[in-house]
Structure 1
């Protein structure tokens, strides 16, 4: 239940919340809801919740009827069930009651019911006041000057941890509080990322006992809170306010007063609200600067990866009388990690690899160099593909932090078409026969290299007859999107690859790019796209 309390001697009404406990009303200071006036009896009435109701109900029970309260122009002489919107007047005070509507069966507003449930999960102590930040703020001249000095200190902060400390110092000076605690996040969603506070003596402050309640009510409900009586030992009362951002609250600021201090009242709430506005503005500026820095850093890291790929990818592909090779590669817009290589072994055989390094951009750049070097060394020694895959795994697991690698490797005899193939993870290896029928050579259950220590990869002995082709493609190829954001998909990619059956490798790649131009050339590619096409031409009779 919420009570909007209007006092004719005050410029602004007070918003008070109560839940599931009786509320005493009167002029005596021991009442939960005190109406400080000689025209109000010491113990006027009780507000009682109905615990047996399926929705929230409250009754007004008069105790001292020497000065009766008025409802709809009539004195309240007996227990009265309150309705939403009822206004009770006594002396110079007016109490307007706001009650949540009953939850009807099959209600069409589950969102409202969910919000009501969350509010009930985070109750405030009886007599607590809640305000909205849009309400008017009134500052005395000395408070305005102190805020100006605080604003200068806050604006000089270069990062959010420094802002938390500066905000704590400012609130201690402005409000003379016993404890100050500040929590911030960089964006409009998620939990608090930076927290800290100080006690009056300069020591570190523990977080407030009702932190979860303040986070929900201040950051999600946008409420400013004044708790009149705190249960925590040594604390008289406290204030909490959201730190506003342009979209949603970026954090909360909390202050409390000791049992021997002057209570924190509406004047201090206005100072806290004004300071919270400045803290929120500084936090948003720092978050934007941090985001811009991260974008510049990501762009520089991506440029490094691209330069690494440019230097590592083969400048020209070797050819054999019985084997043709063609390639297409496009860098991803947001990330990358593809690397491929084709080399001639000392015994005249062809060695081919296509791999994708998983992980962050810098790790991918390092992994690309390691993969290419390991492939070249293995080629000099004529290591079979499954041994190379084991070597890839050792390299990936030795990295800091460890990485994983999707990879495929083949050794091919260009004269006979005999070949060995081994795959790890999600690299596609597709054999295409003379009729354009696909045959997948990827080992589907093989984990990425580096994912499992001492994993034994199996090699597969195959043959590529004349007129047949083999296509290798990276994970980013199937994930490519057209300008409208529609993904290509693995099945459509395989169909397009098979459409080039029987053609020379370079012609098959050109046809693929023509068929999928809206994806590979005009569309969006978050990750690298790489396609290798191998073809064994038919020997002229």
Structure 2
């Protein structure tokens, strides 16, 4: 029985733990056939992206034979016969080499997959896939083409070491000649495509040859990106500057990594699709454009959180040259909140046309509708009936933040009565508020998400909003869009905020002339 040192036993335990973590328990079976130690100890490419692509299995040469004792009496007594030659590697040392190589490569795979799983956007995951794959197969440039087999998208192309112009040149090559085109063919069942000397291939498409010479690549290695739950998503191609091909060991590692990456890409693809669907729903449910009316200028800004909230705004012309302005927020997030927001906004428009001059009546009817049709949900809403010619505003709010009035001589919050959100009590009622604006003053309506995203307590968030509005340069105050942008940039610089953008933000600005 082989006497394996304790250090090797520790490596075996680490190997088993890494296998359980990464789901690559078949690595032993397909890694390297027994009887090919030379392939396991072959030289490996240089480190790429700070990670040794395949850490070579350490070679443990046999210990040199001990020198004979230097006692002259022994040498004179009898001549020593030559010692029999020792084998270059013992079976135990070969086993150590293989185990060390397996542990090293699985550790590398673990590090690369850990970096991949930390990506939360599809574009970032594709970039990480190309970088890690280049490290594993020893390439310098790469291309990823995402074309889900169900045809629902998203369709995108990413490059490593390839600029937009380079990707444009590659798109001019006939698909049947490219590696990614062949693997994306529905009739293809290949697990990989190796082209070690591209320019020497007989019958290579002339345009493909021209682009390869222009971009300076002479070989490629491609693998499909296939997930068990989503099918074929796309393909990844790594490009070599000179005729070359990855070793069998490198190809095996790349296959393990690509299989794991495809599952992660499938999950991110579903997230991207959901976000796109929600964004489309919100765009269809919110006003396509703001009305143009004499005596008032309008501008709106809408920032959506990653979970898709129910914040909304509206501006609609009313009889007698009046204007209705509304902002609101529905509790919850996701498709249910977006659908509830659409129903609430459509109902408010109907009530505003019929009785918009009385904002309290509008919100009372809206509260009754919400309690009867969606009793498990509540909402905050503010509705303002504006008469631009008189610069007169009559409003009512249900648990909503007060408007902010910005002018040359004052910056102040409009005093409104304290009220509860719609759907919280059996009957909602609150008095309305009436005020007049000076020429050139702007009224800012907003949702609570603008305050919450600051990450500050409510009183400090209000103070910061007041300071942001007061600090708008006078040159920008004639444009309500510029006023809204300045307030957003001041409160949420670079659109980065303390909460990570968890809530929607709505800002509606109306400047009275």
Structure with the greater relative contact order (CA < 8 A, sep ≥ 6): 1 or 2?
2
The TM-score normalised by the length of structure 1 is: 0.41
- TM-score (ref. length: structure 2): 0.43
| Higher Cα radius of gyration | 1
Decide which structure has greater strand share. Answer: 1
Kindly indicate which of the two structures has a greater share of residues assigned to helix: 2
